[in-house]
Every structure is written in structure tokens, then in C-alpha cells.
Amino acid sequence: MPTFGYMPFPSPLLGARTLRLENDFVDGPIATTFAPDGTLHVMCELDYNAAKFKEPPSDDLYGHYLTRFDASLGSPRMTMLAPLTAALGEGPYDALVDLAVVSEGWLVMSRAGRSWLVGEDGKIVRAFAVDDWDNKPKMYRENFAVRGAMRPDGRIVVGVAEADTNMAANVIAISLEPPVFAKGQPLLRYLTSLAKIADVGAEIPYVRLADGKPFVDKARPGKVLSEIKGNPGYGAWLGGLCAVSDRTTLVAVYSRYTTFQLALVDDTGAFVAELDLDGDTPYKDDHLVVAADQRHGRVVFKSKAHLHVFDERGNTIKRIDLTDNAFKPLAAFHLLGVSPTGQILLCHKKQHTLLLVDPTPEIKELRPALAAAAAHYKVAWAAAKKVHKPVNGRWIMASEAGLG
């Protein structure tokens, strides 16, 4: 049966500061990840500009909060991430869009070439976050990944920043073994790069080439993804990483909201295939998330108009038109991920709700599963609204959503 859930709003903010839920402010998920046991972690960003609503500027609010749900989207527990927000500095950062559950059970959060290990209490356990533009070798040496995705074998695939990309991820690499961050940065093996950038001879000591030597940007082996696509790498950014299996990684590259590349690479970094969206686009309403269904060896992508499913070789195995009446309610949802059991996780950003679609071991089961999810959501959402009475799509349940 499909599963309905809602994302609670951090109610302590309502008592501490002037914040009117009726106003149209930014509040919603910017990153999600599942733990192996199905626990869901959702990181949200809050940006409330009081001046916009002619309220005292001192009442501006900006920050991040993390909500954990059990595998059935129940028992939400919230943690305010004040240390992380303070580390980032003031103002919203759209690039803070990544979470990865590491082997110790910590969360890795990253932005602009810097990473933080965060415990369940919201405190920073360890930081790889040097921000010293006058000492680029030190940034290369002491920072870590910008993005991360856990493989079934416990190793982590990451994007690594290069200084001449303004510390945005350019190198794609994989850990040699399951990471133990308490010991420092795990050693990584180079897979590929988004683009060839200015070669300054900079070395990233914890990234190794196939022969064991440290990665140096002047010795970037093989073709980079921009050369395969035939588009310039300038202006491109790493939009996502998916560990489809222990053999295949999906690299999502976006550029200037015009071109994009959803590329599969194998365990050596060799190009496998590019996903064909058949004229569809991720840019309409910002459907930029691509997710791996590791249980079934698939890649899932949702645009506003279609749900696409590919196998790990890049072949299209299902494309569902969401303008069909049975699926039309799902057009407004965004894809957030896929659970360890193969449940597709969708989010309605305006209504601040979540929806898990039943797993489909046989691809022919996907259409009825989506239709059932759409029908279930309509009933469950109406029932939840009667009980909790959300304001402007925000759910205030201080007694249920414990604050960690």
C-alpha cells in the first residue's frame, strides 16, 4: 500500500521569532537520503525575509533543519542545524544540496568543496572545510567531497572540488573501501571528470589514479564527460550522483538551465551510456533529482510531465505520461529518492507532504502502483488536513515531531 507522510514545520521558531505562516516564504527539502534500514533523512532550508512582508528586519530567519522519519514515514524527529548554518555563513546557498549516510551512521553534508560530518544531535562531529583562497594547495589537501552516494558494497562515490572551478565538484571518484571518517579523508580512486579545466598542476593527495599515483589535474586520464557530450564544460555543475549498483554510477550534469547530461559510467570510469529523456527536460519547475533504485538495478527520473525508468545500461524500460488522468495528481510532485526496498519517494513542495510508491519488482507493476499512489494521496491528504489543519501547507505538530 502507498504511504503518505508530511514534513513538520519547526514550531519553536513560531514562538521565538515573528514568522507568519500565511506569508509566502522559502521552506522545503533541499536534500534527502535513506539509511540502509529505511530511515529517511530530509534536510530543509528556511529563508524568511521579514522585510519583504514589511516586518522588522531583525526578524529575518535563515537556517537548516533535519527531519528523520522511520521507514513508514512515521515518528518524525527534528534537529535544528544551527552549527551547520553558522559554518556556511549568512544567506541562502542553493549549492547546499547533498546528504550521504556514511558507514558510521553519521551524515555527510556538503557545499562548495567543504564537507561536515553531523551527528543525530545536529552537532558537527568533524569538518573538512578549509576556506583559504590564498592557499589553494591547502584547500586541495584538507577539504573533501561536494556530493556523495553510498554503493551497495558500502563504498562511497563522491564529487571532488577543484579550486579553479570555484570549489565546485569536477572530479568523480570512489572510495577504495567503506569510509571511516573518524580516521580522516578516505582514499579515493579517480573515475572521471565533468570537464577539463585550467591545468595548474594541482594535486589532490587523497584521490589516486588507477596506478596508485595521486591525481594531478594536468594528468587527467581518459575523456571527460563534456567531451563525450560535445558541449563545453563551462557553466556546468554536478547536479547529482547515484550509485545504481556496485558496477555503475549515474552522473547528472546541468548547465545554464539549457543543456544537461545524465551519464552512466562503470567502475573504471568508462562512459557507458547517456539517458535519453526523449525530448523531456529537467528544467521545467526544477525537476533536477535523479535517483537510483539499487534493489532493482534501475535509474528513476521524474519531470513535470513524465516518469522515466532506465536499466543500469541506460536503456529505457518505462516512460509514463503523467498527463493521463490516473497519474495527473502526481505531476505536481518532485522526485526525492528511492528507498532501499525500491519505493519511489515523491514530495509535494507546496503542501509539504511525502508519498512513497510501492516497490515494483516487475516493471509492468509500475503503472498500477503509480495509479494507486495517486488515488491514496488524495484520500490521505484530505484526512490529514482535517486532523492537523495545516496553515499555508505547513504542518505544526510540536507534540508529535520531537525536537532533537
pLDDT band at 58 (very low <50, low <70, confident <90, very high): low
User: What is the arithmetic mean of pLDDT over 57-76?
Assistant: 81
The candidate with the shortest Cα–Cα distance to 27, out of 6, 48, 12, 42, is: 48
**Chain centroid, CA 26 distance in Å:** 18
pLDDT for 207: 92
The conformational region for residue 134 under phi > 0 = left, psi -120 to 50 = alpha, else beta, is: alpha
pLDDT (tens digit per residue) in 74-120: 888 888 776 667 766 544 344 445 677 766 667 777 766 678 888 77
pLDDT (tens digit per residue) in 137-194: 777 778 887 788 899 999 999 988 876 656 578 899 999 998 887 778 889 999 999 8
The candidate with the shortest Cα–Cα distance to 140, out of 114, 117, 158, is: 114
String of DSSP letters for 226-253: HHHHTS--TTEEEEEEEE-SSSEEEEEE
Least confident of 88-92, 150-154, 206-210, 350-354: 88-92
CB atoms within 10 A of CB 304: 18
pLDDT band at 399 (very low <50, low <70, confident <90, very high): very low
* Helix, strand, or coil (residue 338): strand
Is pLDDT of 269 > 80? yes
User: What is the arithmetic mean of pLDDT over 10-28?
Assistant: 74
Query: Which residues does 79 contact at the CB level (< 8 Å), separation at least 6?
Result: 65, 66, 67, 68, 120, 121, 122, 403, 404
The pTM score is 0.92
Least confident of 26-40, 129-143, 385-399: 129-143
Q: Are the C-beta atoms of 112 and 99 separated by less than 8 Å? A: no
Residue predicted with more confidence, 15 or 186:
186
